[in-house]
Amino acid sequence: MATVTTPTARPTGAELEEALDDGITRVRVNGVDRELAIDPDTPLLWALRDELRLTGTKYGCGIAQCGACTVMMDGQTIRSCVTPISAADGGIVTTIEAIDSPEAKAVQEAWVAIDVPQCGYCQSGQVMSATALLTENRKPTDIDIDNAMAGNVCRCATYVRIRQAIHDAAKKLEA
Partner 1 sequence: MNISVKSGQPNRRQFLTAAGGLTLGLFLPLGNRAAAQSGAAAVLATDAAPVTPFEPNAFIRIALDDTVTVLIKHIEFGQGTYTGLTTLVAEELDADWLQMRATSAPADAKIYANTLFGMQGTGGSTAMANSYMQMRKAGAAARAMLVSAAAESWNVPAGEIAIANGVVSHEQSGKQSSFGALADAASKVATPIDVPLKEAKDFVFIGTDQPKLDSLAKTDGSAEFAIDIYRDNMLTVAVQHPPKFGATLVNFDDTKTLEVEGVAFVHQLPTGVAVYAANTYAAFKGRDALDVNWDFSKAETRSTIQMNEEWAAAAKKGGTVAEQSGDLDAAMAGAAKTLSADYTFPFLAHAPMEPIDGVIEIREAETGREAEVWMGSQLQTVDHATIAGTLEIPQDRVALNTTLTGGSFGRRAQPGSPMAAELAAIAAAPDKAGSYKMLWSRSDDIRGGYYRPLTAHHLEAGLDADGKIVAWRNDIANQSFLRGSAFEGMIKDGIDSTAIEGAVKMPYKWPAHRVSWAEMKTPVTGLWWRSVGHTHTAFATETFLDEALLAGGKDVVEGRLELIADSPRDAWVLKRLADMISWAGPQQVNGRARGIALHESFNTYVAMAAEVSDDSGQPKVHKIWCAVDCGVAVNPNVIRAQIEGGIGYGLGAALFNAITLGEGGEVQQSNFDDYRMLRINEMPEIEVSIIPSTEPPTGIGEPGTPPIAPAIANAWRALTGTNTRQLPFVTPSV
Partner 2 sequence: MIFSRTAFKSAVATIVALTLFGAASTYAQDAETLRPASEIEAIGDERERSLAAYEEVAKVVTHPRCMNCHPRDSSPRQGMDMAMHQPPVVRGVDDFGAPAMRCATCHGNENVSYVGSEGSIPGHDPWHVAPLSMGWIGLSKGAICEQLKDPERNGDRTMAEIHEHMAEDGLVGWAWNPGEGREPAPGTQDVFGQLTKLWIDNGAHCPTS
Residues that bind partner 2 (CB under 8 A): 43, 46, 61-65, 67, 70, 76-79, 81-84, 87, 129-130, 132-133, 135-137, 144, 146-151
Binding site for partner 1 (CB under 8 A): 1, 38-39, 41-43, 46, 49-51, 53, 55-63, 65-66, 68, 95-97, 108, 111-112, 115-124, 127, 145-146, 149-163
* Residue closer to partner 2, measured from CB, 52 or 107: 107
* Residue closer to partner 1, measured from CB, 154 or 170: 154
- Asked if 3 contacts 35 with a C-beta cutoff of 8 angstroms, the reply is yes
Minimum CB separation from partner 2 for residue 24, in Å? 20
* Residue closer to partner 2, measured from CB, 3 or 141: 141
